[in-house]
Amino acid sequence: MFVLFLKKNFLWIILALLIVYVVTEQPTLISDLQYKYFPSKACSEPIEYTIGTFDTRFGISEEDFKEVINSSATIWGKGIGKTLFRYNSENTSRSLTINLIYDERQRSTQQNALLQANVDKVSALAASVRAQYTTLQSQYRISEQTYKDQLSAIKDIQRKYNAEVSYWNSRGGAPRSEDLS
């Protein structure tokens, strides 16, 4: 029964598998076919834009700002192979106006960036001081142990010397032939 179903619907099954393959494995093929055979009226003409309010406190020149906007507009257009945005120096009722307005939010953002840079510098300095401290602390421990070892050796020598002096003092003094040093 299943074999009979396959024989009757073989072409439909192949067509369904082909559609699934094209949709899942070839998304660029679909978008190419869509733009070729079903052109969209959307974005048929570029949107004109102009620069409105421009505040220099952002730290960028107006020319550099225009270049950044143009570069961004080009990136947007590459996806569909069309020019989506075009600069127009005249502000018309149909043009999109881009305003660069410096306000409290931007001031706060820039101030926060400066504060963060200072925090980063202080953190780097603190890490450097911490590393120096760790190195010096290690050197101190080594020096302290060396000092303790040397002090112990000197005390041992002094104890032996004092014992020998006590020995000879108990005998009425050391003979001239004995050198205690």
Cα-Cα-Cα-Cα torsion 56, 60, 62, 66, nearest 10 degrees, comes to -140
How many Å apart are CA 33 and CA 158, to the nearest integer?
101
How many residues would you count in the chain? 181
The pLDDT tens digits of the residues spanning 67-85 come to 998 898 888 888 778 888 8
Task: Report the pLDDT averaged over residues 134-161.
Answer: 96
In the predicted structure, residue 143 carries a pLDDT above the cut 90: yes
Specify the DSSP element, H or E, that contains 138: helix 104-170
Specify the DSSP element, H or E, that contains 54: strand 47-54
Q: What is the pTM of this model?
A: 0.44
The percent of residues above 90 in pLDDT, for the chain, comes to 35
In the predicted structure, residue 158 carries a pLDDT above the cut 70: yes
**What value does the mean pLDDT of the chain take?**
83
The structure tokens listed for 79 are 């996806």
Which of 15-24, 55-64, 82-91 has the least mean pLDDT? 15-24
